[in-house]
């Protein structure tokens, strides 16, 4: 059974259940700060415990084999009555900076968050009694129409409030208000925190995070790099960090940036600067690692024209991306950046994109690889034709592929269970991967299916060059890869 309470009602007595940060948000609400209409939600511990106790998690290897059935059972947990009762008057919700338009989709997202926490514990410590306990409570905010998402904290080095606009826009008056409210909130809580804000019919506070000021001049850099110990978790398969959102300081085998998640055609100037900074920063931070820059795949509202086709016919989308590449490669001299062509429906589209790139002095050469994102079955069927057109690597977008093969929209949360039906995808990819090996073209895997145990074991066995994961998943990914590689090697020797 879950617990759910409006944030404004939380007191110190509720901290053991809802957490100190939720209680602090409740305090600020009572102090008169404009806190959004938020609710604190705890996980369904009893049901999660019941699901996990019905499976054998004695070893990590058994866990990877059982994960699919566990995920299915957890996603079938119905929406609790308490959640439906509290939220029934609202139509849109915000959870971890993502919007949801139904209580059911919100509930699936909550379950997914808690499941990820449990998986992280399993990968790091194995199964133990109480593994489903003390999961992080979550804050759900009822919203109407969000104009912007921001975060703020007081920077003692600059003696001023630092504000970051995560998405949307914020009027200067709103930013000024956030600055004053950040200082006021720190005074009320006595300890500095980082604050999350939305612009939704005014500025509203929606979350609090611990704030730790950056410490410089105390530990030499070499100590920090040793602490990260990247070589302790290595595998033959490369792990690329998905850095379309956020940054990383630890060493990486490679970086993957989806420009469509950063560049916004409706706000070209602001998002162009963000994209240029992110690309240059990533390529500079990892000078010895390849940075794969995927051209934007943004569907149009009408007609759903997307991928390479839209890039070819809409210069307002294509040209800014080329300008970012030109700036990073030619003006900054960052030659570890390579290009990924998105959502190609035929060889002719690939050839046209390559011609447009060549005109912009971004032709394929030793220092500039052109990678093909494989999203539709046609790409696999006509793989040899793409080789003849000239590519340096392939990105298997597993979510798009299974969506097109199984006939569902992978972005619809209610249809997510179809993603677990991976047997057909595995069979379909077999011949295409053989051709890739025959032509000595590397391929990497991308998408939420990458860490599916069946898919990952198949890919490792077939010689996948690398996988793309979120930065926070890197450690677990290395751990899982090493287990699978050890299992495959043992099986071969037997």
Please answer whether residues 262 and 278 qualify as being in contact, where contact means their C-beta atoms are separated by less than 8 angstroms.
Answer: yes
In this prediction, residue 120 carries a pLDDT of 74
In this prediction, residue 426 carries a pLDDT of 92
In this prediction, residue 300 carries a pLDDT of 81
Determine the Cα–Cα distance for residues 206 and 151; give it in Å rounded to an integer.
10
Q: How far is CA 88 from CA 91, 118, 412, in A?
A: 8, 29, 21
Largest alpha-carbon pair distance within the chain?
69
In this prediction, residue 6 carries a pLDDT of 85
In this prediction, residue 221 carries a pLDDT of 39
Half-sphere exposure of 50 (CA within 13 A, CB side): 8
pLDDT in tens, 128-148: 677 777 788 888 888 888 888
**Ranges under pLDDT 50 in the chain:** 60, 215-232, 493-494
For residue 257, give the nearest of 238, 234, 280, 235 by alpha carbon.
280
SS (H, E, C) 86-136: HHCCCCEEEECCEEECCHHHHHHHHHHHHHHHHHHHHHHHCCCCCCCCCCC
pLDDT in tens, 443-486: 999 998 888 888 999 999 999 999 999 877 777 788 888 888 88
Q: What is the pTM of this model?
A: 0.55
């Amino acid at each position: 059974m879950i617990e759910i309470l409006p944030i404004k009602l939380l007191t110190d007595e509720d901290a053991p259940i809802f957490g100190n940060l939720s209680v602090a948000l409740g305090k600020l609400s009572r102090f008169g700060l404009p806190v959004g209409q938020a609710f604190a939600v705890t996980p369904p511990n009893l049901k999660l415990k019941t699901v996990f106790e019905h499976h054998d998690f004695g070893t990590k290897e058994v866990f990877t084999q059982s994960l699919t059935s566990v995920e299915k059972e957890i996603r079938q947990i119905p929406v609790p009555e308490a959640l439906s009762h509290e939220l029934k008057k609202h139509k849109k919700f915000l959870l971890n900076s993502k919007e949801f338009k139904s209580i059911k989709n919100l509930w699936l997202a909550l379950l997914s968050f808690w499941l990820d926490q449990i998986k992280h514990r399993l990968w790091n410590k194995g199964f133990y009694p109480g593994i489903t306990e003390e999961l992080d409570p979550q804050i759900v905010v009822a919203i109407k129409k969000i104009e912007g998402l921001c975060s703020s904290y007081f920077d003692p080095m600059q003696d001023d409030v630092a504000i970051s606009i995560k998405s949307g826009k914020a009027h200067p008056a709103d930013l000024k208000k956030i600055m004053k409210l950040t200082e006021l909130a720190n005074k009320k809580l006595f300890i500095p925190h980082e604050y999350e804000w939305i612009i939704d019919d005014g500025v509203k506070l929606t979350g609090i995070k611990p704030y730790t000021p950056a410490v410089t001049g105390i530990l030499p850099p070499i100590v920090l790099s040793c602490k990260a110990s990247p070589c302790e978790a290595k595998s033959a398969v490369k792990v690329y960090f998905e850095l379309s959102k956020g940054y990383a300081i630890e060493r990486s085998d490679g970086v993957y940036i989806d420009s469509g998640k950063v560049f916004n055609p409706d706000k070209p100037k602001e998002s162009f600067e963000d994209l240029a900074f992110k690309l240059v920063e990533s390529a500079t931070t990892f000078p010895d690692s390849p940075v794969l820059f995927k051209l934007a795949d943004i569907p149009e509202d009408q007609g759903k024209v997307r991928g390479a086709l839209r890039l070819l016919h809409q210069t307002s989308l294509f040209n800014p991306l080329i300008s970012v590449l030109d700036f990073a490669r030619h003006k900054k001299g960052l030659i570890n950046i390579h290009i990924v062509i998105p959502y190609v429906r035929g060889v002719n589209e690939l050839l046209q994109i390559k011609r447009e790139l060549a005109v912009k002095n971004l032709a394929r050469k030793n220092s500039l690889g052109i990678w093909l994102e494989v999203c539709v079955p046609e790409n696999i069927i006509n793989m040899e034709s793409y080789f003849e057109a000239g590519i340096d690597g392939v990105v298997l977008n597993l979510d798009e592929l299974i969506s097109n093969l199984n006939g569902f929209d992978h972005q619809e949360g209610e249809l997510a269970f179809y993603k677990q039906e991976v047997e057909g995808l595995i069979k379909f990819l077999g011949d295409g991967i053989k051709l890739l090996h025959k032509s000595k073209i590397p391929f990497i895997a991308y998408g939420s299916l990458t860490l599916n145990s069946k898919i990952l074991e198949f890919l490792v066995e077939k010689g996948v060059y690398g996988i793309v994961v979120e930065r926070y998943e890197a450690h677990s990914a290395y751990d899982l890869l090493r287990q699978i590689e050890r299992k495959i090697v043992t099986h071969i020797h037997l």
